[in-house]
């Protein structure tokens, strides 16, 4: 099996038939849950600059990186964490990273309401250009993500603006930069990040030239190697819930077996904090959810509540020490 490629050019204002792009997205979401995105009109020079700046930051001494430690981000859940500071399935990941989100000032209604995962970003003193590069990338990925969702709506037989009208009028926008160091020889069987699925609607991933991403297909694990000029897109748990299992949130994992660092740049376009994600009207009942076979043995179809409540129930498992701080997670 190969991960399909979808040209989203017609969805971002380029020539071509948008209905064909919508059909291609629908087929990829049904069959694999992952697809390469081309035709997105993102300037490759901006991605190269972001990569350069990220590497400069990760090369800094740990005490300087610690000036923007996630513990300083409070309820906004922003900042840096060291290798081993994030957990998947109870196991520390072999990666370090930076957490960012929509840049919201103190007068924003959700910030004034002390809503978790909303607020200002923590940007380092060095390199000075990282702030502008990150915020520009957030804008570009939001543009591409909304275009993909419009095509996805078409593939599901919905109006192109359905996701904006019902789930993402005020989306939860999150962005990560991860550095996977080369695994020590004695840990080559371990994972930079273990098997998992993403929580929300849509993930758009930029990655450097190093291999490492694998997805779990029906036939087994399949490599999703970097392709020049493309992003890797995958769907999250809320799309599986929304479509009653017509689209599946596909498990994936990462292991860096190279001799140098591997950098990845996942962007998450998720439902609004107070959105209630329920099944689409076209879904009579969810398919067998296969909870016993999922990586976490849970069902995405049994949850009741808002997306904010859903993600809060998940993030504490990723950063247990930070979650123990009630200033971050109490509601």
Structure confidence by residue, pLDDT tens digits, 107-128:
999 999 999 999 999 999 999 9
Structure confidence by residue, pLDDT tens digits, 15-44:
999 999 999 999 999 999 999 999 999 999
User: For residue 217, what pLDDT is reported?
Assistant: 82
Confidence check: pLDDT of 269 > 70 = yes
Structure confidence by residue, pLDDT tens digits, 209-240:
999 999 998 778 999 999 999 999 999 999 99
Superfamily of domain 5-329 in the CATH hierarchy: B-lactam Antibiotic, Isopenicillin N Synthase; Chain (2.60.120.330)
User: For residue 239, what pLDDT is reported?
Assistant: 94
- The band of 192, judged by pLDDT with boundaries at 50, 70 and 90, is confident
Structure confidence by residue, pLDDT tens digits, 156-189:
999 999 999 999 999 999 999 999 998 776 555 5
Q: What percent of the chain has pLDDT over 70?
A: 89
Q: What is the mean pLDDT of the chain?
A: 89
Q: How far apart are CA 37 and CA 25, in angstroms?
A: 10
What does the radius of gyration of the chain's CA atoms come to, in whole angstroms?
A: 19
Asked if residues 3 and 34 have their Cβ atoms less than 8 Å apart, the reply is: yes
Lowest mean pLDDT among 180-184, 254-258, 265-269, 281-285: 281-285
User: For residue 290, what pLDDT is reported?
Assistant: 54
Please tell me the pTM assigned to this model: 0.92
Q: In sequence order, what E strands does 105-249 have?
A: 171-180, 193-196, 202-207, 213-217, 220-223, 231-235
Q: How far apart are CA 256 and CA 183, in angstroms?
A: 6
Q: Which residue has the higher pLDDT, 296 or 205?
A: 205
Confidence check: pLDDT of 330 > 50 = no
Break the chain into its structural domains and give their ranges. Answer: 5-329
Q: What percent of the chain has pLDDT over 90?
A: 68
Confidence check: pLDDT of 331 > 50 = no
Asked if residues 229 and 13 have their Cβ atoms less than 8 Å apart, the reply is: no
């Amino acid at each position: 099996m190969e991960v399909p490629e979808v040209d989203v050019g017609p969805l971002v204002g380029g020539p071509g038939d948008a209905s064909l792009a919508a059909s291609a997205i629908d087929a990829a979401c049904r069959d694999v849950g992952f697809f390469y995105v081309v035709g997105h009109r993102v300037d490759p020079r901006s991605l190269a600059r972001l990569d350069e700046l990220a590497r400069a930051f990760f090369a800094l001494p740990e005490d300087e990186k610690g000036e923007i430690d996630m513990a300083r981000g409070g309820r906004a859940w922003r900042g840096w964490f060291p290798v081993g500071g994030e957990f998947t399935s109870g196991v520390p990941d072999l990666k370090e990273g930076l957490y960012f989100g929509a840049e919201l000032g103190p007068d924003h209604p959700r910030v004034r309401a002390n809503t978790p995962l909303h607020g200002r970003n923590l940007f380092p003193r060095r390199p000075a250009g990282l702030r502008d590069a990150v915020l520009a990338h957030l804008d570009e990925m939001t543009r591409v993500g909304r275009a993909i969702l419009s095509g996805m709506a078409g593939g599901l037989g919905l109006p192109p603006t359905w996701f904006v009208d019902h789930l993402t009028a005020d989306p939860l926008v999150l962005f990560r930069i991860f550095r996977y160091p080369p695994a020590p020889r004695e840990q080559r069987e371990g994972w930079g990040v273990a098997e998992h699925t993403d929580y929300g609607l849509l993930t758009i991933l930029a990655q450097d030239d190093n291999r490492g991403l694998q997805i779990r297909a029906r036939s087994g694990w399949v490599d999703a190697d970097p392709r020049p000029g493309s992003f890797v897109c995958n769907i999250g748990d809320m799309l599986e819930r929304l479509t009653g299992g017509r689209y599946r949130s596909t498990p994936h994992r990462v292991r860096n077996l190279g001799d140098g660092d591997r950098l990845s740049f996942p962007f998450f376009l998720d439902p609004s904090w107070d959105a209630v994600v329920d099944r689409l009207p076209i879904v009579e009942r969810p398919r067998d959810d296969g909870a016993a076979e999922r990586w976490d043995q849970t069902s995405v179809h049994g949850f009741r509540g808002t997306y904010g409540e859903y993600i809060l129930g998940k993030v504490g498992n990723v950063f247990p020490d930070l979650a123990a701080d009630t200033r971050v997670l109490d509601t």
